[in-house]
Amino acid sequence: MDKELEDAGYRVYHGEKIDVYFNTAICQHSGNCVRGSHQLFNLKRKPWIMPDEVEVTTVMSVIDTCPSGALQYRHK
């Protein structure tokens, strides 16, 4: 499924225990991600998504609030 996400236009941000996928083309810019965790999602740094900055449960709970599906995650 990871290859399917990449083929669909998602960019992968690798973490030790979990990978985060983001597709800018379908993002609705609700801001749930940045409001949900400034440590995980920080627009002022590169890369702006760093899965290892927070617990895996935080990654999952914040991404689960994404209304567009632009954010996905996969456990390793």
pLDDT digit of tens for each residue in the chain (76 aa)? 689 999 999 999 999 999 999 999 999 999 999 999 999 999 999 999 999 999 999 999 999 999 999 999 999 9
pLDDT of 55: 98
Tokens of 58: 């935080």
d(CA 32, CA 34) in angstroms, rounded, equals: 6
Q: Is the pTM of this model over 0.75?
A: yes
pLDDT of 2: 85
Residue 34's Cβ-side half-sphere holds a number of Cα atoms within 13 Å equal to 10
pLDDT of 9: 96
Does CATH place domain 2-75 in 3.30.70.20? yes
Q: Where are the domains of the chain?
A: 2-75
